[in-house]
Structure 1
Amino acid sequence: MPDPTAVVEVETSQGPARVHRYAVSGTSRGLLLLGHGAGGGVGAADLQVLTRLVDHGWEIGLVEQPWRVAGRKVATRPPALDAAWRDLVPRYLEHHPAPRVVVGGRSAGARVACRNAPGDAAIGLPRAVAVVCLAFPLHPPGRPEKSRVAELQTPLADGIPTLVVQGLKDPFGPPTEVTEALGADPGPVTVHPVPGNHSPTTSLVAMCGTVADWLDAHTDGLP
């Protein structure tokens, strides 16, 4: 895996966050901002493997939420995660502008990305051109009635192409459950099954290739 070009600290209303920046050496196709899950940080294997996308022209930013930077063990609630994200993205882009922005993350980070993908012009939060979800937690294990499908539908309702990379044995909802929850007319979504559970550790390079191909298909030619 490449090493980060820099670790950029960004002040937010929830405390300082960090963006582990992986810059491209040539012309940038855009920025892929990825958030981590509630049980780990930016060192997660499936986040790290996506740093290889710098070879495809994508600048990568692995976002470390303020609770993690502060050394706390327990993630903050969704409103605080969203507040930090909404502060961080415009401030980061002030110093590291990108021709287009793709957002995503793993697990809780994917939820944050989905909720905020449509953007907010009033605060300078750009609309994402695409969303990449790794291990989207459709529901708590064993609690399918506690569905979070509305969060996944947020970018889709805005017409934003969304990729969901989901482990076949994910206790938070396998690919079949994700597809069923989205219904007969789900919008511009691709649900891609991979081996493993909520933290896949195999076939990671192949997964990175899948994400690269999907980004090619859904972002090439965009302004």
Structure 2
Amino acid sequence: MRIVTPRGPALVEVDEVAEPRMLLVLTHGSAGGVDAPDLLAVRDAALGIGATVAKVTQPFRLAGARAPGSAVRQDEAWGVVLEQLRARWPGVPLVQGGRSNGARVACRTAKAVGASAVVALAFPLHPPGKPERSRADELRGAGVDVLVVNGDRDPFGVPDPADAARLVVLPGEGHDLKKDPARVGEVVAEWLSRQV
């Protein structure tokens, strides 16, 4: 389904379950798409615990851009998408998340869209080689419980455990979390099953 936002259309692909215990909305990073191995593994694992899963391709990606542009504009478009998804599944608890830049969007907008928790895959703590430009405030400012799943070889850094409800660091994984995506899905499903 296409959802029109002030920043252009977003594309939403939904995998539904009959009686969802939650709506899990996931999005991609700056350069990738919603078919990244870790996002697909999370989708599959979440379906297994009774979640309806929506994968959102954001307007900047549909427009062919590799960079998301300003956070304000990206978050504005995200809010419109989430408003329409919440209207389609009223009363169903919302959890949102994404990988890399998508994790940042999910953290920044969690309270505004009424999410009960955030799944942050490969949260990019800082640009590679620039730890002084920390984005930890986005994690701390989410206002809801955040699960962070990062690889120990991620050049974007690994957040501090104190900045999230739960931090899982997977050995041997880089920023793409594609060495063992099924493990990423297991970690997320286990955590989600205790959240809602």
Answer yes or no: same fold by TM over 0.5. yes
Query: In structure 1, what is the equivalent of residue 148 of structure 2?
Result: 164
Q: 1:98 to 1:41 in 2, by over 3 A?
A: farther
Please tell me whether residue 16 in structure 1 is matched to residue 9 in structure 2: yes
1:31-180 equivalent positions in 2, closer than 5 A: 31-52=23-44, 53-97=46-90, 99-119=92-112, 125=113, 127-155=114-142, 158=143, 160-174=144-158, 178-179=159-160
Query: Hey, what's the Cα distance between the residues in 2 that align with 1:133 and 1:99?
Result: 20
Query: Hey, what's the Cα distance between the residues in 1 that align with 2:91 and 2:24?
Result: 9
Offset of 1:77 from its aligned partner? Answer: 2.1
Structure having greater relative contact order (Cα 8 Å, sep ≥ 6): 2
Offset of 1:168 from its aligned partner? Answer: 0.6
Query: Hey, what's the Cα distance between the residues in 2 that align with 1:97 and 1:10?
Result: 17
Query: Hey, what's the Cα distance between the residues in 1 that align with 2:91 and 2:99?
Result: 22
Deviation >3 Å, runs of 4+: none
Query: Hey, what's the Cα distance between the residues in 1 that align with 2:5 and 2:195?
Result: 31
**Aligned-residue identity in percent:** 38
Letter in 2 for 1:139: H
- Structure 2's unaligned 5+ residue stretches are none
Please say if residues 38 and 182 of structure 2, whose CA atoms lie closer than 8 Å, have aligned partners that are also in contact. Answer: no
Per the alignment, in what secondary structure is the counterpart of residue 71 of structure 1?
coil
Q: Which structure has the larger Rg over C-alpha atoms?
A: 1
Offset of 1:93 from its aligned partner? Answer: 2.2
Offset of 1:98 from its aligned partner? Answer: 5.0
Please say if residues 31 and 98 of structure 1, whose CA atoms lie closer than 8 Å, have aligned partners that are also in contact. Answer: no
Compute the TM-score of the two structures, normalised by the length of structure 2. 0.93
Query: Hey, what's the Cα distance between the residues in 2 that align with 1:96 and 1:189?
Result: 26
* Per-residue deviation, residues 20-73 of structure 1 (Å, max 9, x unmatched): 11111x311110111110011111111111121212100111111101112233
Compute the TM-score of the two structures, normalised by the length of structure 1. 0.82
Query: Hey, what's the Cα distance between the residues in 2 that align with 1:48 and 1:206?
Result: 12
Please tell me whether residue 201 in structure 1 is matched to residue 194 in structure 2: no
Report the aligned-residue RMSD: 1.5
